Structure 1
Amino acid sequence: MYEFEADIARGADSGAAGQQHGPLTMRSWLRHLADTGRLACVDVPVSLEHQLAAIAKRLDGRQAAFFSRPGAHQIPVVSGFMSRRAWLAEAMGVPEAALLSRFSDAVDNPLPVAELGPGEAACQQVVHRREDGNLDLHRLLPIPTHSEHDNGPYITAGLVIARNPRTGIQNVSINRIQVHGPDRMAILMLPRHLHAFYQAAEEAGDALPVAVVIGVDPLTMLASQAITPIDRDELEIAGALHGSGLRATKCLTNGVVVPADAEIVIEGRILPGVREPEGPFGEFPKYYSAREPREVIAVDAVTHRRNPIFHTIVPAEMEHLLLGAIPREATLLSHLRRSHPGVQDVHLSVGGVCRYHLYVKFSKKREGEAKNVILCAFGAHYDLKQVTVVDTDVDVHDPAEVEWAVATRFQADRDLVVVPGAQGSVLDPSTTVAASQAGMEAPPHLQGISAKMGIDATRPVTYDSHVFTRVRIPGEDAVHLESLLANSGAPSWQAYLGQEA
């Protein structure tokens, strides 16, 4: 029996997430999910090509999936352990309504990592080095091929950690990584902090040392997606979410600091001046990105726990979407409130792939304020494509409520804001339509150019009589259906019909 499965059988480390013995790790979180019926163990052989991802997708949002026999590998694969907002709030130890405020507090109050000494980190219990001649990622790790047209196996849940070559301060991100060969991987870097680090190294003719960390707890995964200034180490935000400095250790072949309780660490260098084809790959907008030249990671070592667990994220499903949504929502909420204190809540909708469509709950005091909120949101993150502002009586987490507000409080000639020619997401396929229709490929400086749309779905500050008063039934929120319907015996309508002659 595999070590983790044995722990499940023994009920090891059971109890609520907030009552863990020792630090929260991926293993302790999985044990908690298992103890509460939220971990499905798939113990039959499963193909790494498509089948594993298909099963995980079917379970998405209901149970995490633990595959004990993926392909020909002894290392199991897990997926989907962060696929509900309520689960992430549970990992933080807060109600779901406090999820964003707890995350924001951690961003504002980071804690330095607690660095362990040599030989103390679980993630370095087993070491495979390039010079030993046994470094083969395909042989060592069960890396799945997810979607139908993906160009091979991808690491989708790896934290990519690198240091700023100029300041030494780290950045943590999640990037898709295609495994090309035994010790070679292609990585997609969007124009954010990791890419800036790489550009600085490449300009100096240097490789950028990196670590790809696989198998960390939900809070560390969430922290990696925080929207922060360039020189903020997201591992310190993870520590704040945990309530104490994150246990960390230095890599064996470079100076990058990684979570000590991780399952697997791939150590390497992003090579200067080297590009290799990567893609296509099914991305979060639920479309494929093109095959293009990408930067290349040369792998120097792989370290891992004894009996490690490989984590994969099924692209475009809830684990993927929520990882992007919650940190962005927290940052957007804080940003909007600084200029507009009337903002009460925000939500990145699932229909907008948790990136592009933002709903804002706002207490409007003056006409025109909602449009300012829209423009402020667009300035906060370039991925946003559509912002809808609603009143405080609308639940922004319910798409039907938001659509109702648009249907009854919005007029396009008065309440629509359009911003053409703005920077958008390069992964949004509609941003390249104009260039492709013209029969040409958009040059790099025009890729991701997007129009933004804002919808002011707020009612007027003053209005006559009950024109904009919502229809409600007094006492509807106080009705306890369970007590009214409990122990009712035979349905009363049957008894009533039985009175007929």
Structure 2
Amino acid sequence: MMETQMNQRDAATNGTASAAPTAPTLPARQSFDALSLRGWLAHLSATGRLATIAKPVALKHELAAVAKRLDGKQAAVFLAPGGHDMPVVSGFISRRAWIAEAMGVAENDLLQRFRDAADHPLPWKEVSAGEAACQQVLHTTGIDLHALLPIPTHSEHDNGPYITAGLVIARNPRTGVQNVSINRIQVHARDRMAILLLPRHLYAFQKMAEAAGDALDIAVAIGVDPLTMLASQAISPIDFDELEIAGALHGAPLPVVKCVTSDVRVPAFAEIVIEGRILPDVREAEGPFGEFPKYYSAQEAREVIEVAAVTHRKNPIYHTIVPAEMEHLLLGAIPREATLLSHLQRSHPGVTDVHLSVGGVCRYHLWVQFAKKREGEAKNVILCAFGAHYDIKQVVVVDTDVDIHDPAEIEWAIATRFQADRDLVLIEGAQGSPLDPSTTVCHPDDAPPHLQGISTKMGLDATRPVVYSGHVFTRVRIPGYEAVDLDALVAADNAAFDTYLSDQ
């Protein structure tokens, strides 16, 4: 995870002690209730982007199948999921344009807006339990998550129901500063869950607590607004609470409330909050699970959450993310793209845009738009990108006349501006993503962590020469193409041409 230097919080901070840096001008407040999931869903419904499924659907596979069919077209809300009376929603941020709309910016300003929020966080505002919608109903005894919540089983070989859209919030045991992330959580018992911890900040917190023989208090917030969901995926330093980025995206401090059983603070307008503890020195089987690369990760012994309480709104809504579909992919892509763009532009101001491609599961393949001034610069950009995030496996650098959001344009640039003997960069034996199955084919399933995810990185310089003769690298264009007004020129029917044919 790429990290930059930030102001260190005091160990006793509650999110209100430190003053935020001066922020840029914020977009106008959206017309919908931006602080709640239901406000965003109402907006989608009013604009024809919410599909209501009133008929009963099974939680095992059927719900995910329906949501996948609607992916990127409409969000889906299921009113009768698996015999529960709690609705399930999925796919409410499955297009880039929708996320930009939630931010109140044009789509081409999306990355800059996220960067501004990450650079100018707003400390959150704590509210009382009476003001927190997420604590309207409390369960502390006899908890049975399977009976209480409509948790789907998504993919064919998943080892049971999974929470896939929960914001996992925990405090650093040494400093008290929070971290927010989304982790897959298998609900395998009434009040016990197994969680995947990758080697990032939550993993570091758990290791600190476990080394001291302590459990780590956590909360899992389900059903938050789209901007808070997005903020949770920011690539930020340890001891940096992503809920402060959420506040900056909203343009006002995010209301939070203290958990019932711990000092963890959660978004006050969440639909559901599961409170619990990651137990020290306890591991239980988790997986297989269909992950974002569109393959299954193997079953392994994982850390265990013991549930202490569940709180929720009256008439709550449960949110699930269908793994490897657009909602899942975009949540990871946009924060990464914003961070990568900032990182690359520090050393290479000629970088104008970046895009993590859908075909590369919005993690592994990076396309970079670059205004090249000297030969060799594109290769330096490639190397800089590989150092920015270990997930990146392939980088293609193209000129500014290439639309990096169009896969056909990227393929065209490679086909006409790239030669492998001079423009290919290979780096063997580098750290890649452990979830990429191609990195594990040479190792046994029980390979130790230091041998997992070993990858060969590939960079392609698909830029044209800085200097070339004549029009050999001039792109073919037809003057006036962009200005053609087809509505004014094309007749409503073909009657005139039919008359011409009949006269012959």
Matched, 1:429 2:434: no
- Work out the CA distance in 1 between the residues paired with 2:253 and 2:499: 66
**Alignment partner of 2:498: what SS?**
helix
Unmatched tracts of structure 2, length 5 or more = 1-26
301-310 vs 444-453, which moves further: 444-453
Q: Is the 8 A contact 1:343 1:360 kept in 2?
A: yes
Q: Is the 8 A contact 1:278 1:293 kept in 2?
A: yes
Matched, 1:286 2:294: yes
Question: Superposed, which structure 2 residues align to 1:93-112 within 5 Å?
Answer: 93-112=104-123
Matched, 1:75 2:120: no
In the TM superposition, residue 17 of structure 1 has moved relative to its aligned partner by: 9.9
**Alignment partner of 2:441: what SS?**
helix
Q: Is the 8 A contact 1:17 1:91 kept in 2?
A: no
- Work out the CA distance in 2 between the residues paired with 1:349 and 1:144: 28
Unmatched tracts of structure 1, length 5 or more = 1-15
Matched, 1:39 2:44: no
User: Which residue of structure 1 aligns with residue 450 of structure 2?
Assistant: 445
**Alignment partner of 1:425: what SS?**
coil
**Alignment partner of 2:129: what SS?**
coil
In the TM superposition, residue 21 of structure 1 has moved relative to its aligned partner by: 5.9
In the TM superposition, residue 329 of structure 1 has moved relative to its aligned partner by: 0.3
Q: TM-score, normalised by structure 2?
A: 0.93
- Work out the CA distance in 2 between the residues paired with 1:324 and 1:56: 19
Matched, 1:496 2:476: no
In the TM superposition, residue 489 of structure 1 has moved relative to its aligned partner by: 3.9
User: Which aligned runs of 4 or more in structure 1 are off by greater than 3 angstroms?
Assistant: 16-23, 487-492
Matched, 1:323 2:354: no
Question: Superposed, which structure 2 residues align to 1:390-409 within 5 Å?
Answer: 390-409=398-417
Matched, 1:369 2:377: yes
In the TM superposition, residue 493 of structure 1 has moved relative to its aligned partner by: 2.6
**Alignment partner of 1:119: what SS?**
helix
Question: Superposed, which structure 2 residues align to 1:81-480 within 5 Å?
Answer: 81-129=92-140, 132=141, 134-436=142-444, 441-480=446-485
- Work out the CA distance in 2 between the residues paired with 1:47 and 1:106: 40
Q: Is the 8 A contact 1:101 1:330 kept in 2?
A: yes
In the TM superposition, residue 484 of structure 1 has moved relative to its aligned partner by: 1.4
- Work out the CA distance in 1 between the residues paired with 2:338 and 2:324: 21
Q: Is the 8 A contact 1:17 1:90 kept in 2?
A: no
**Equivalent residue letter for 1:186:** A
In the TM superposition, residue 72 of structure 1 has moved relative to its aligned partner by: 1.3
In the TM superposition, residue 413 of structure 1 has moved relative to its aligned partner by: 0.7
Q: Is the 8 A contact 1:17 1:29 kept in 2?
A: no
User: Which residue of structure 2 aligns with residue 64 of structure 1?
Assistant: 75
**Alignment partner of 1:478: what SS?**
coil
**Equivalent residue letter for 2:464:** R
**Equivalent residue letter for 2:465:** P
**Equivalent residue letter for 2:80:** R
**Equivalent residue letter for 1:30:** L
Q: Is the 8 A contact 1:153 1:179 kept in 2?
A: yes
304-313 vs 489-498, which moves further: 489-498
CA offsets per residue over residues 312-331 of structure 1, 9 Å max, x none? 00000000000000000000
Q: TM-score, normalised by structure 1?
A: 0.94
Q: Is the 8 A contact 1:18 1:91 kept in 2?
A: no
**Closer, same or farther in 2 for the Cα pair 1:300/1:325, shift >3 Å?**
same
- Work out the CA distance in 1 between the residues paired with 2:275 and 2:194: 14
In the TM superposition, residue 18 of structure 1 has moved relative to its aligned partner by: 4.4
In the TM superposition, residue 482 of structure 1 has moved relative to its aligned partner by: 1.8
User: Which residue of structure 2 aligns with residue 27 of structure 1?
Assistant: 38
CA offsets per residue over residues 68-120 of structure 1, 9 Å max, x none? 00011110000000000000000000000000000000000000001102321
Q: Is the 8 A contact 2:367 2:396 kept in 1?
A: yes
**Equivalent residue letter for 1:270:** I
**Closer, same or farther in 2 for the Cα pair 1:300/1:327, shift >3 Å?**
same
**Equivalent residue letter for 2:438:** S
- Work out the CA distance in 2 between the residues paired with 1:318 and 1:85: 9
In the TM superposition, residue 25 of structure 1 has moved relative to its aligned partner by: 1.1
Structure having the larger proportion of residues in helix: 1
Q: Is the 8 A contact 2:129 2:135 kept in 1?
A: no
- Taking every aligned residue pair, what percent have the same amino acid on both sides? 75
- Work out the CA distance in 2 between the residues paired with 1:405 and 1:490: 38
Q: What root-mean-square deviation, in Å, do the aligned CA atoms of Structure 1 and Structure 2 show?
A: 1.2
- Work out the CA distance in 1 between the residues paired with 2:485 and 2:501: 27
- Work out the CA distance in 1 between the residues paired with 2:237 and 2:35: 27
- Work out the CA distance in 1 between the residues paired with 2:274 and 2:127: 19
- Work out the CA distance in 2 between the residues paired with 1:94 and 1:23: 14
Q: Is the 8 A contact 2:32 2:40 kept in 1?
A: no
- Work out the CA distance in 2 between the residues paired with 1:40 and 1:260: 27
- Work out the CA distance in 2 between the residues paired with 1:367 and 1:168: 49
CA offsets per residue over residues 415-437 of structure 1, 9 Å max, x none? 1111111111110000001124x
Q: Is the 8 A contact 1:329 1:348 kept in 2?
A: yes
Q: Is the 8 A contact 2:34 2:40 kept in 1?
A: no
User: Which residue of structure 1 aligns with residue 20 of structure 2?
Assistant: none
- Work out the CA distance in 1 between the residues paired with 2:30 and 2:368: 34
Q: Is the 8 A contact 1:56 1:65 kept in 2?
A: yes
**Alignment partner of 1:434: what SS?**
coil
**Alignment partner of 1:91: what SS?**
helix
- Work out the CA distance in 2 between the residues paired with 1:118 and 1:81: 28
